[in-house]
Amino acid sequence: DANGVPVLVTARLRLRRPSMRDLPESAAFWSSDRCRMMGGPIAPSETEKSLQEACAGVQWLRTTLMQALGLQA
């Protein structure tokens, strides 16, 4: 992407770094029963906070550090 973050593109998928433009769709999904098996539903405000962290790289950093320390992420 424009920030140098790799984007994986296949015939059926485009996997990219999350963006705050994803908030409406993310909030709709995470506040629905469709995400029950993934720990939801959660409030739209929590979705926004998680998305902000993901956009800032906080989740990636947390996961990377925990893996480096041999802990479960």
Neighbours of 28 (CB within 10 A): 12
Contact between residue 8 and residue 1 where contact means Cβ atoms under 8 Å apart: no
Q: pTM above the 0.85 mark?
A: no
Q: Is the pLDDT of residue 73 over 60?
A: no
Q: Which pLDDT score is estimated for 16?
A: 85
Q: Which pLDDT score is estimated for 69?
A: 81
Q: Which pLDDT score is estimated for 53?
A: 87
Q: Which pLDDT score is estimated for 71?
A: 76
Residues 42 and 39: their CA atoms lie apart, in Å, by: 8
